[in-house]
Amino acid sequence: MAQTVDDLRNEIRQAVGRYERIESTAFTKEALAAICDAVDYDVDTDDRPSKPQMRAGILWKIGVIDEDDPASAERPFRKAELEAIAAALEDE
């Protein structure tokens, strides 16, 4: 059976040392920062960038988009993007 978006988010959270969530929620800034760290996208943890900037950086580092432009990641990750992130984290 295919994984749901919630399953994928929780798999990613656990892969980067965050806790699983029972309710369906998008990633927090802290979770996004942990994912950025896992895919080697440098973020300033003292003055954390916006969620779109971190999402764009993650997608850029795993090869889903061509540049880390926050305008290309204004919305939460789509299922295909979550699958790509989960696969990238498995490869590490």
* This prediction's pTM: 0.89
Taking the CA atoms of residue 15, residue 87, residue 76 and residue 47 in that order, the dihedral angle to the nearest 10 degrees is 50
Residue 91 and residue 24: Cα distance in Å, rounded? 26
User: Could you say which residues of the chain have pLDDT below 50?
Assistant: none
55 in Cβ contact with 6 (< 8 Å): no
Residue 36 and residue 54: Cα distance in Å, rounded? 7
Taking the CA atoms of residue 10, residue 64, residue 68 and residue 37 in that order, the dihedral angle to the nearest 10 degrees is 40
Q: What is the reported pLDDT for 1?
A: 66
